[in-house]
Amino acid sequence: METGWRTWKVFEHQVKEFRQGDAWKGRRSKLKELRETLRQGPFAVQEFTRVQGSLPKVIDNPEPDTTGWYGTRCVYFDALDTDDWLIYPQDGKEDTPDA
């Protein structure tokens, strides 16, 4: 993973993990709970990840994987908020019926 977390590659990885990763796929309630927990701060997210498992890897530093935060910035809000608006291919295939 790149050392900087504010890159398109990292963002795309997060969205893909939230949409297709085994721990998150099809779990809309869990994603909504994570979004609300992130607003409560790193200590609340640490408890969330203790129960639910780590978040998608962002950088080589393990702190964001368990707290959702890197320093004073949340590293998951963009991917979670944008997820509702993106059309992301499933397993490399578009979600359109065959014509």
Please report which confidence band the pLDDT of residue 81 belongs to, taking 50, 70 and 90 as the band edges: confident
- The confidence band for 26, taking pLDDT boundaries of 50, 70 and 90, is confident
For residue 70, the 8-state DSSP code is E
What gap in Å lies between CA 9 and CA 27, rounded to an integer?
23
Q: Is the confidence at residue 46, as pLDDT, over 80?
A: yes
Domain boundary assignment for the chain:
8-83
Alpha-carbon gap, residue 84 to 58, rounded angstroms: 20
- Most confident of the ranges 34-38, 64-68, 80-84, 86-90: 34-38
At 28, give phi and psi (nearest 5°): -60, -40
Q: CA dist 59 to 15, 55, 70, 94, 95, Å?
A: 15, 11, 9, 29, 30
